[in-house]
Amino acid sequence: MNAKANPGKRRGRPAKEGRSDDILDAALDEFSTKGFDAARVDDVAKRAGVSKGTIYLYFDSKERLFEGVVRRWILPTVAEAEDMLAHHEGSVEDLIRAQVHGIYRELAGSRLRQILRLMIAEGPRFPHLVDFYFETVIQRGLKTLRRTIELGVARGEFRATALPDYPLTVLGPAVTAAVWKILFDSHHKLDLEALFETHFDILINGLKKA
> Where along the sequence are the contacts to DNA (CB under 7 A)?
1-16, 19, 38-42, 50-54, 56-57, 60-63
Give Cα 36 to chain centroid, integer Å.
18
Half-sphere exposure (CA, 13 Å, Cβ side) for 173? Answer: 18
Q: Which does 180 bind (CB under 5 to 8 A by kind): its own copies, DNA, none?
A: its own copies
- Contact yes or no for 2/80 (Cβ under 8 A): no
3-state secondary structure of 208: strand
**Helix boundaries (H) for 7-160:** 18-34, 41-48, 52-58, 62-86, 92-103, 112-122, 127-133, 140-154
From the list DNA, its own copies, none, partner contacted by residue 15 (C-beta under 5 to 8 A by kind): DNA
57 part of the interface to its own copies, by CB under 8 A: no
CB-nearer residue toward its own copies: 22 or 174: 174
Q: Long-range pairs for 101-105 at CB < 8 Å and ≥24 separation?
A: 101/196, 101/200, 103/141, 103/171, 103/174, 104/174, 104/177, 104/192, 104/195, 104/196
Query: Which ranges of 108-154 would DSSP assign to H, the alpha helix?
Result: 112-122, 127-133, 140-154
Helix axes 62-86, 41-48, angle to 10 degrees: 60
Q: Among DNA, its own copies, none, what does residue 76 contact (CB within 5–8 Å per kind)?
A: none
Nearer to DNA, 53 or 156 (CB): 53
Q: How far is the CB of 137 from its own copies (least distance, A)?
A: 11
- The reply to whether 171 sits near its own copies by the rule CB under 8 A is yes
Helix (H/G/I), strand (E/B), else coil: 61: coil
For residue 151, state whether it binds its own copies (rule: CB under 8 A).
Answer: no
Partner interacting with residue 86 (select from its own copies, DNA, none; CB below 5-8 Å by kind) = none
**Residue 22 or 115: which CB sits closer to its own copies?**
115
Q: Which does 159 bind (CB under 5 to 8 A by kind): its own copies, DNA, none?
A: its own copies
**180 scored as a contact of its own copies (CB under 8 A):** yes
Q: Could you list the residues that contact its own copies (CB under 8 A)?
A: 1, 33-38, 62-63, 117, 119-125, 130-131, 134, 138, 159, 161-163, 165-166, 168-169, 171-177, 179-180, 182-184, 187-188, 190, 194-195, 197-199, 201-207, 210
